[in-house]
A and B are shown apart, each in its own frame.
Chain A
Amino acid sequence: MIPTVDDLKAGRTLAEIQGFTREMGATVASLAAREAGGGDLEVARGILEGLVVTNPRDPLAWALLSQVERRRGEPFTALLCAEAAARLAPGDRQVRLARAEALLAVPPDAGPGGAGRRELARAELEDLQAGADEVAGRAAALHRALGP
């Protein structure tokens, strides 16, 4: 079963139409994260693109795709994906981290807002490093790397 034009316009996702559950989505996302962690970015990207097409309202999938695109050297695509994730879950820590990383990935000399991007990302990381989870650890590492 594939979505019709009316389904698309109504915002119905392929996952809803095909009965693709949240658990299945989480499993696929973890598989992609494992591939990305192992260095196979192309496979990870393929999986994650399939996941966001299946369920465009999954912020975790967008955030992971943003991280993969950034590692692939596509900072602007990474930024688009991070912003999509931030739209869906603005308060999610993992999404905020992905967005900060995407902002930092944009070359400083691209456009006049290089310094502003850096400051925005620094503020986000500073906020995120307060915690005890994996996100906090990574945010703290990045914040330190940015320097004073």
Chain B
Amino acid sequence: MSTPQASSVAPRHSVPLADAAEAERPAASTRTRGTSTLGLDSPAGSVAPLLPWFTEGIAASAPTPWLVAADTAAKVPVGGYSTAKATGEWAFLSDPSLSLEDKLSRFMIAVQKKLGDELTEKMNDYKAKYGEGGTEAKKEDGGGIFGSILGAIFPAGGIFDKVLGGLEKLLGEALKSLGGPLLAALATAVGLPALAPAALKVGETLGAVLAGAATGTKAKTTSSGTTKGTKSTPATTPRTSNPPTSTAKKGEAGSPDERLEMLEIQRLVEKQNQLFTLVSNLMKSMHDTSMVAIQNVR
């Protein structure tokens, strides 16, 4: 069923399909004659009439040495390019369906996860070393260095076993109350110079911790006085007046190694912050660029 409007639109100049095919044929044959790829059989032959300057210097017999067919190029191995494709968590980088913003977001998430894992691992390491019952905390309790020095001062089977048995704790406390330099000097004096550097470190930190607490303990343990014939002086003066030990780092918890671990954790947190700032700035810049383009269109 046709309407008056439809009949008025219908009369147009049109070519029947068969005629259209005939009309296209000569042109197509001209375009593809003698070529299977990029369409130039001989520059001198087919291109010369159109681009005379183009064929200058090229021999008539030269079969287009600088034009390479796409399928041929794919077969020729070319070095220098990476053939690896991103896989796993980084596969999104080679996903053509994702926009740059999507890739940036996913990149940030991936890196954030990696940093988060690293941070958690570091914190677990710290806990294992310096937490309650940690290996390093045990060391600083004095087993290693203090035990070695005490063992060197009072060798087994000597005076210690005979007359100083049961005083290990008190002697250990006295040893710990010495400052780092004095402890190192003691280690050297009793023939353990190899322990001197470690004693210097441990003595500094422990000396600071024990300076306050040990004074009270010592005053209690020594309040029974000294022997007859010797002048007794109560232990009222704190050891903080001692030049070598008073410089111990008060207020800084932990050994140098522990502080190093804390600094590493701090560095990781700062790295995360830097990443956030970087991506944030990048996205803002991209947004601003897009907005400029949109405003120009308006």
Contact = CB atoms under 8 A, between A and B. Distances in A.
A105 B170 CA distance: 14
B154 interface: yes
* Interface of A: prevailing SS: helix
Interface in A38-89: 41-42, 45-46, 49-50, 52-53, 56-57, 62, 70-77, 79-80, 83-85, 87-88
Interface in B153-205: 153-154, 159, 162-167, 170-171, 173-175, 177-179, 181-182, 184-186, 188-191, 193-194, 196-197, 200
B244 A110 contact: no
B157 to A, nearest CB: 14
B26 interface: no
Contacts of A107: 221-222, 224-225
B251 interface: no
B179 to A, nearest CB: 8
A77 B196 CA distance: 18
A1 interface: no
Contacts of A141: 229
B154 A75 contact: no
Contact of A57 (B181, B188, B237): B188
A148 B26 CA distance: 140
A132 interface: no
Contacts of B245: 49
Contacts of A111: 164-167, 170
Contacts of B179: 49
Contacts of B191: 87
- Which of A73, A84, A104, A117 is the most central at the interface, judged by chain B CB atoms within 10 Å of its CB? A73
B170 A70 contact: no
A61 to B, nearest CB: 9
Contacts of A24: none
A73 B222 contact: yes
Interface residue tally on A, bucketed by range: 35 or more
A106 interface: yes
A88 to B, nearest CB: 6
Contact of B243 (A11, A49, A52, A109): A49
Interface in B74-94: none
What interface size band does chain B fall in? 35 or more
B242 interface: yes
B153 A87 contact: yes
Contacts of B175: 80
A136 interface: no
Nearest to A117: B163
A116 interface: yes
A87 B189 contact: yes
B233 A41 contact: yes
B182 A53 contact: yes
Interface of B: 152-154, 159, 162-167, 170-171, 173-175, 177-179, 181-182, 184-186, 188-191, 193-194, 196-197, 200, 218-219, 221-222, 224-235, 237, 241-245
21 contacts: A49-B179, A49-B245, A56-B184, A56-B185, A62-B189, A71-B231, A72-B233, A72-B235, A72-B237, A74-B218, A75-B226, A76-B167, A76-B222, A80-B175, A84-B190, A87-B152, A105-B227, A110-B167, A111-B166, A113-B166, A146-B228
Q: Which 3 A-B pairs have the closest CB atoms?
A: A111-B166, A11-B193, A76-B174
